[in-house]
A and B are shown apart, each in its own frame.
Chain A
Amino acid sequence: MDPRPRSFYVLATVFGLFLLFLYGPTLTIAILSFQGPNGGLTFPMRGVSLHWFRDLFQEQAVGDIWGGFRRSILLGLMVMVTTVVVSVMGGLAFRKRFVGAGVLFQLVIASLVIPSILVSLGVGLMFSQGGLGVHWATSGFGAQLTWTLPFGLLIMFAVFNRFDPAFEEAARDQGASPWQTIRHVVLPIIAPSLIGVALFGFTLSYDEFARTLLTAGSYNTLPLEIYGMTTNVTTPVIFALGTMTTVFSLIVIASFLLAVRVMDRRRARAGSDAGKGV
């Protein structure tokens, strides 16, 4: 191997500092969440304890963390499934040159760049003026889709740009119907990227604040609950919550990565079977 050029070390230092910068707040939160029972939101540490984690599992003076958590997970899953299905369909649609595709694409980009507070305001207004109640599962759900769908679709574009149409042609030549081609050829090939779309859909929804702010109605999602806590809580319990949500997110990522792995392995096995047949 070549010796590392000097620029490597310079850049590695920059990268290291960047990581430090990125992790600074996360670590601050992690450390402060272990404050002693009399500690405050700031340093110095007054003892080390699990007090605030225990506190997290008890009822707070105001708010309902676990209800928010439950709703956020549910909403995240709803958004995730919808995003995967709709983006795959959209991705397939854009491979055909249909009239109006350009306009629809512009709209997708618009959806991506429109400030979140506008969507929140507009959807909130629409539901309240239309006499429909705002609720996280209806207006909140829709408002979040305007953010996750463009992401999902862009990932699908990236996937299909690298997709070799020869596979489909082969399937067609074998007499497969369009549906069979999609079901048995296209979907299995793009499956790992779908996990990426799902991961994006879930986490973008799980952490979305602005779009749900005016569209959630009576019951808060977790980010709204946390926002409420920043203004209503004066103890490190909020940092304990931050640490918990980070750990939870890591578990989610790990399980997604595991799913990709399992899928790859299964595919590898299926692939090796092919040669051994007959």
Chain B
Amino acid sequence: MSKMRYSRRSLLKGGAAAFAASALPAPMIWAQEIKDVTLRQFGTGVSNLNEVAQKVKEDLGFTLEMTALDSDAVTQRAATQPDSFDIADIEYWICKKVWPTGNLQAMDTSKILNYDKIVGIFRNGKLTPDSVIAQGTAPHSVGFTSGPGGTDFVAEESGWMTLIPTIYNADTLGIRPDLIGRPIDTWAELLNPEFKGKASILDISSIGIMDMAMVCEAMGEIAYGDKGNMTTEEIDKTFAIFTEAKKAGQFRAFWKTFDESVNLMASGEVVIQSMWSPAITAVKSQGIPCVYQPLKEGYRSWGGGIGLSKNLSGIALDAAYEYINWYLSGWVGGFLMRQGYYSAVPETSKEFMSADEWGYWFEGKPAAGDILSPTGQKLAGAGDLRDGGAFGDRMGKVACWNAVMDENQYMVRKWNEFIAA
């Protein structure tokens, strides 16, 4: 058996198409065996969707078990319970924390069929050759390691990836235009006393601190050296500003997962808050106006990818590579792009979206007809434009990436104090 497996693996290595290989008689047996494989994946509710698991069963034959958790629980499990998963669906800043534990194994890019089509952000950090790399933990900086077994990060494309990028987006503030009734164009509005008791921020330290920094910088209160790597003094100042606002009753609540933000926004408890793209989609699909407001200071961006547990080997590892190749082959990308995210390999996703969907979500063109959510609710009508416009406009205006800084532990303690204050 193992011989057949290896022969197939070398086929893959040789770049032969995965689907052609399965037509050969020998891998037919292998294909039977792979059906018994069960891979346990966990991650945030953002992309750990059962529909993906169903499609995997349909297309690839093996079973994918999905567990959805919040970001902190995800970090915790990836760092402390390596036996509890096979595939980790995590964000790049989490990777910066988790990779050095050695719980994940490096992935051979030569086995990734669409590697060359992955957008530049995840390879050399540049969207276009002349882009400037934003502050924070940019995905490419923690995307590669020195080789199999490596627990370090290397700057160049070494052929060994820590995470295979899957989705990413540029985040900004979400607003209820009907309840605000005037244009919003800067991050500073989050702390505007006009929205006292009607603002919210997310309670995930590594992400929340970046939103805070965007606000403080926009208010002109603090000039950061590097928002993605603050000094303790900058951290103190940032928290001082937000603690004061908190005590003055600026915030209605803090949220931890994007669905909480949906409920806050949809019920009108909050009119301006940090928000993620699918949350906007979800609010809109309830028929409530909600805008993902582009702001003049730019976006705070994040990227997610899948990593493999160090315990994966043999046929399960083969199945995992097959899964990764499938992930990048377009169906998932299209599925996620319809919720407002971007796929790491946009061109493959294009085939799984209608021309109108592609135009609306990716190219920033006016919708020709109704744009529907993956569950069939209407999100936009003819002539509507995506907030923020085209892919290049949105991802081109990233001011910083979600980050883990050198002073992270200090920041975390301060964050804890802020929440408790």
Residues of A near any B CB (own CB < 8 A): 38, 40-42, 59-64, 128, 133-134, 217-220, 228, 230-234
Contacts and interface: CB of A to CB of B under 8 A. Distances in A.
B80 A128 contact: yes
A218 B257 contact: no
Main secondary structure of the interface of B (DSSP, over half): mixed
Given A60-B50, A62-B68, A232 B257 contact: yes
Given A61-B50, A231-B257, A234-B262, A133 B84 contact: yes
A2 to B, nearest CB: 52
Given A128-B80, A134-B81, A218-B85, A59 B260 contact: no
Contact of A231 (B40, B50, B259): B259
Nearest to B40: A218
Contacts of B65: 64
Contact of B51 (A38, A61, A134, A219): A61
Given A42-B267, A218-B42, A231 B84 contact: no
Given A59-B50, A60-B50, A220-B67, A232 B45 contact: yes
A128 B84 CA distance: 11
A61 B335 CA distance: 13
Contacts of A40: 266-267, 286
Contacts of B257: 231-232
B203 to A, nearest CB: 11
15 contacts: A40-B267, A41-B263, A41-B266, A59-B54, A62-B50, A134-B81, A218-B42, A218-B81, A230-B260, A231-B70, A231-B259, A232-B68, A234-B262, A234-B263, A234-B282
Nearest to B287: A38
Contacts of B54: 59
A232 B69 CA distance: 9
Given A64-B66, A228-B69, 15 more contacts: A38-B286, A41-B267, A59-B54, A63-B50, A128-B81, A134-B81, A217-B81, A218-B81, A219-B67, A231-B70, A231-B260, A232-B68, A234-B259, A234-B263, A234-B282
A70 B336 CA distance: 31
B40 A62 contact: no
B236 interface: no
Given A128-B80, A218-B40, A220-B67, A231 B85 contact: no
A41 B264 CA distance: 11
Interface string B50-71: 1100100000000001111110
B49 A61 contact: yes
Interface string B168-180: 0000000000000
B84 A218 contact: yes
Contacts of B146: none
Nearest to A233: B259
Interface residues of B, number: 30
A219 B70 CA distance: 15
B413 interface: no
Contacts of B67: 63-64, 218-220
Nearest to B51: A61
Nearest to A219: B67
Nearest to A58: B50
Interface string B280-295: 0010001100000000
B81 A133 contact: yes
B90 to A, nearest CB: 16
Contacts of A42: 266-267
A63 B85 contact: no
A133 B40 CA distance: 15
Q: Which of B67, B70, B267 neighbours the largest number of chain A CB atoms within 10 Å of its CB?
A: B67
The 4 closest A-B pairs by CB, nearest first: A231-B257, A62-B68, A232-B45, A218-B84
B186 interface: no
B246 to A, nearest CB: 22
A128 B256 CA distance: 26
A232 B282 CA distance: 11
B322 to A, nearest CB: 22
A231 B204 CA distance: 13
Interface in B1-57: 40, 42, 45, 48-51, 54
B226 interface: no
Given A40-B286, A234-B259, A134 B50 contact: no
Nearest to A218: B84
B39 to A, nearest CB: 12
A232 B257 CA distance: 7
A167 to B, nearest CB: 51
